[in-house]
């Protein structure tokens, strides 16, 4: 038979684990960043295109360029200017993902790419896809969730001037932590034990 002392101890353990899990929960990233500049576009055959974005790439000077999170924001408006972007192929060379850039403590990785039909006639090349943004460290020491992004690349008719827009996707529901399940199970056990006694 469970006594009151055991019940109190079990409840205290469950509450402690719940509080600890809340403290270490990561914060989601949200927002967007825009790049512009010059690019070399190569048709590599079999529906694969190569993009060299290192020609005069710039972070666009707009106040909306930021990845935001709970305690602060990675505001890129003050960083407007030269940006180092890695060249890539639309099939990522069979690697499954491609590191595009590191900006302000954030790393942007592309995980998929597709060639759009360009039927709008407004661009010479039109690519889009998805990826991940992760916080790799900076002025703020905080644990941030890896967050899914979508990206859109379009170039002007001269095939040199391009824009690249990257924005985060709405966060998917976070699963209930194991410690929360422990707490709920403990409370249920306490209620059943109390009913029996």
Cα(95)–Cα(98) distance, integer angstroms? 7
pLDDT at 130: 93
Query: Which residue is listed with tokens 């006594």?
Result: 3
Query: What pTM value is reported for the model?
Result: 0.68
Q: How confident is the model at residue 103 (pLDDT cuts 50, 70, 90)?
A: confident
- pLDDT tens digits along 63-78: 678 887 766 677 777 7
pLDDT at 23: 43
Kindly state the percentage of the chain with pLDDT values over 90.
Answer: 10
Mean pLDDT of 185-192: 64
Domain ranges of the chain: 4-22+176-196, 27-168
Q: How confident is the model at residue 111 (pLDDT cuts 50, 70, 90)?
A: very high
Closest CA to 85 of 103, 97, 100: 100
Yes or no: say if 51 and 153 are a contact pair by the CB < 8 Å rule: yes
Does the pLDDT at position 12 exceed 60? no
Token output for 97: 């993902």
pLDDT averaged over every residue in the chain? 74
| 81-105-113 Cα angle (round to 5) | 75
More confident residue, 35 or 189: 35
């Amino acid at each position: 038979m469970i006594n009151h002392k055991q019940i109190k101890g079990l409840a205290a353990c469950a509450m402690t684990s719940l509080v600890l899990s809340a403290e270490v929960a990561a914060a989601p990233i949200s927002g967007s960043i825009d790049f512009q500049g010059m690019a070399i576009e190569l048709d590599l055959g079999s529906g694969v295109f190569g993009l060299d974005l290192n020609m005069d790439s710039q972070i666009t000077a707009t106040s909306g360029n930021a990845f935001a999170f709970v305690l602060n924001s990675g505001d890129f408006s003050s960083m407007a200017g030269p940006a180092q972007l890695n060249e890539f192929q639309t099939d990522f060379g069979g690697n499954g993902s491609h590191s595009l850039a590191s900006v302000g403590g954030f790393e942007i990785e592309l995980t998929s790419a597709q060639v759009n039909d360009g039927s709008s006639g407004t661009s010479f090349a039109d690519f889009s896809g998805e990826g991940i943004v992760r916080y790799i460290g900076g002025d703020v020491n905080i644990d941030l969730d890896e967050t899914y992004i979508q990206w859109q690349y379009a170039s002007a008719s001269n095939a040199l001037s391009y824009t690249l827009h990257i924005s985060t996707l709405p966060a998917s529901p976070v699963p209930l932590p194991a410690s929360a399940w422990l707490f709920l199970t403990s409370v249920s056990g306490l209620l059943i034990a109390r009913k029996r006694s």
